A and B are shown apart, each in its own frame.
Chain A
């Protein structure tokens, strides 16, 4: 009985892994073969998945086609800026909501939490107008400033701050430590784990971001990676599967690497909050 259940478990896992890994492996293998070779694939054999003649040529071509250093620089800059801003701005607000009493706290917090249900997809049209009106269109700031704070970030950090004993604040304030210093030197170090989790969620979300940059940025020099990949496709390289596959690998490998090293935080984050990247 026990044995058959274990076997069933393994069979199931094997099926799952096949369903997940095989498509990815196949897709990534396209990046290492020429278009002529890809065109000859047909039927099933070892060479459906493993290049006959492996080449890095597609990556060279991809790097040249998208001005790779510029694109990666812009992408990393945007992702890190949004992450840094949102950690600071959301924690500050979360601290006040969790541990200070002031008039309007309940209403303001309710409004902040209510914004969590609004998908960006629904607000893209009026957001476009605001970004245009404040003169940020086509700038990297249009990808950063609107996302410097979020209902989710505030809610997530508040949950953590609210769990720290109140006596800590009182003791610190009694000793003449100001609120700001207390926040920076006592609370933030305590909050390392939730900060890392939130930072990861925000970073991966930004790396994945497509709707906003594809709508706000039309100038090539400010394109982020995901938009640049799509841009290649929609312009001259429609049938260049090998080139786009190289783009896919470049687009996915950094996040897969980040995930491998931080999955403990990441999975803890999603299972406690139910928010995915």
Chain B
């Protein structure tokens, strides 16, 4: 009787973790392995698969559509990381001292972050609308020419970027603000005594102490700008016009679910997977180095 109870007690931790591990195993880990397998197969949406080795990767690397998508993704990523991080950091530094007023307005400021991405995407689709859009109304009042924005191949990617930055920057401002709160007041006071000007104070005191947070923000933004952009592309542009906003996640999705080429889509996803992995390893690497 007693040994049985003991044996059961030994099993108990496994019973506690079992539901979570089953879900994660079936719906995360198995798909990861399956993704790599599928990328080596000729596979259609109905489930027939045939092993073909590296063919998908070879056709991916020679595909003009993939090259176009990769280029758009890199432009999107670099611009979003630079602009959004700079903006969020700038705002955090400027409002830090006015934290009381910030408290009042924080709620309003944060609304873009909490509204659904589908809603934000439609909102910006209308704001950019050539006929009834808000920006074109402003342009008209200023006697500027009507502008296509999302409909114009030379402006669509930039317009998409602006909408995405608008949606996310308050989030990162908040991250920076919580990082700024950790910096001891005394450091600023001694910097002031040494006669440091505000700019010097930011450059020599704030930024070095904020490096960890900055690294975190850059890594998260990099990941988000590559992976978490399906909804805005789907709703606002469907990859167009002329493929200029055909970012990798959308390209991957439409290859799988519109074209039906699961194998090729999986090769694209593996490419993104490796990219995400590298970004995270770089973060770990830099983080370690700093700790040492």
Point out the residues of chain B lying under 8 angstroms from A208, CB to CB. 116-118
Q: Are B34 and A129 in touch, CB under 8 angstroms? A: yes
Query: A168 on the interface (CB 8 Å rule)?
Result: no
Q: Which of B51-59, B106-114, B186-194 is the interface stretch?
A: B106-114
A33 vs chain B, min Cβ distance (A): 11
Given contacts A20-B108, A93-B16, contact A271 B175 (CB under 8 A): yes
Check A179 for interface membership: any CB of B closer than 8 A.
yes
Of B97, B106, B132, B170, most A-chain CB atoms within 10 Å: B132
> With contacts A125-B256, A126-B32, A251-B118 known, is A210 near B231, CB below 8 A?
yes
CB pair B107–A260 under 8 Å, yes or no, is yes
Tell me, yes or no, whether B227 is within 8 Å of chain A by CB.
yes
> Given A13-B95, A93-B19, A117-B280, is A226 in contact with B230 using a C-beta cutoff of 8 Å?
no
B118/A229 in contact, CB under 8 A: yes
- When distances are taken between beta carbons in the complex, the residues of chain B under 8 Å from A270 are 171, 174-175
A-side binding surface: helix, strand, loop or mixed? helix
Name the contact of A151 in the complex, choosing from B24, B94, B109 (C-beta under 8 A).
Answer: B24
The complex places the Cα of A8 from the Cα of B107 at a distance, in Å, of 20
0 or 1 for each of B11-31: is its CB under 8 Å from A? (1 = yes): 011101101110110111111
Given A130-B31, A146-B27, check contact A241 B129 (CB 8 Å): yes
Please determine whether A277 and B113 come into contact, CB atoms closer than 8 angstroms: yes
Asked whether A167 is an interface residue with its Cβ less than 8 Å from the other chain, the reply is no
How many residues does chain B have at the interface if contact means C-beta atoms less than 8 Å apart? 89
Tell me if A48 and B175 are in contact (CB < 8 A): no
Residue in chain B with minimal CB distance to A44: B141
Given A9-B101, A214-B234, A119-B276 contact (CB < 8 Å): yes
Contact yes or no, A122 B269, CB < 8 A: yes
A259 pairs with B28, CB closer than 8 A: no
- Which residues of chain A are within 8 angstroms of B14 by Cβ–Cβ distance? 96, 102
**Distance A101 CA – B55 CA, assembled complex (angstroms):** 46
Pair B24/A39 contact, Cβ less than 8 Å: no
A145 within 8 A of partner (CB): yes
How far apart are the CA atoms of A106 and B102 in the complex, in Å?
42
Number of inter-chain CB pairs below 8 Å: 275
Interface residues of A, count at CB 8 A: 97
Q: How far is the CA of A263 from the CA of B110 in the complex (A)?
A: 10
Determine if A135 is an interface residue (Cβ-Cβ < 8 Å): no
Which residues of A have CB within 8 Å of B230? 121, 210-211
- Per the bound structure, the CA–CA distance linking A22 and B124 in Å amounts to 12
Query: Which residues 44-99 in B have Cβ within 8 Å of A in the complex?
Result: 47, 91, 94-95, 97-98
Q: Does A80 contact B (CB under 8 A)?
A: no
Q: Assuming the A-B contacts A16-B109, A118-B32, are A274 and B118 also in contact, with contact meaning beta carbons closer than 8 angstroms in the complex? A: no
Q: Is B277 part of the binding interface, using a Cβ–Cβ cutoff of 8 Å?
A: yes
When each residue 36-75 of chain A gets 1 if its CB lies under 8 Å from chain B and 0 otherwise, what string results? Answer: 0011011110001000000000000000000000000000
Q: How long is the Cα–Cα vector from A154 to B17 in the complex, in angstroms?
A: 10
Question: In residues 233-258 of chain B, which contact A (Cβ within 8 Å)?
Answer: 234-235, 249, 252-253, 256-257
In the bound assembly, the distance between CA atoms of A263 and B113 in angstroms comes to 12
How near does chain A come to B32, taking the closest CB pair, in angstroms? 7
Given contacts A43-B141, A211-B231, 14 further A-B contacts (CB under 8 A): A5-B97, A12-B91, A100-B16, A102-B13, A102-B14, A117-B223, A128-B256, A210-B118, A230-B118, A251-B118, A256-B111, A259-B111, A267-B110, A267-B174
Binding site for A on B (CB under 8 A): 9-10, 12-14, 16-17, 19-21, 23-24, 26-32, 34-35, 38, 47, 91, 94-95, 97-98, 101-102, 105-119, 122-124, 126-127, 129, 131-132, 134, 137-138, 140-141, 166, 168, 170-171, 174-175, 177-178, 216, 220, 223, 227-228, 230-231, 234-235, 249, 252-253, 256-257, 262, 265-266, 269, 272-273, 276-277, 280
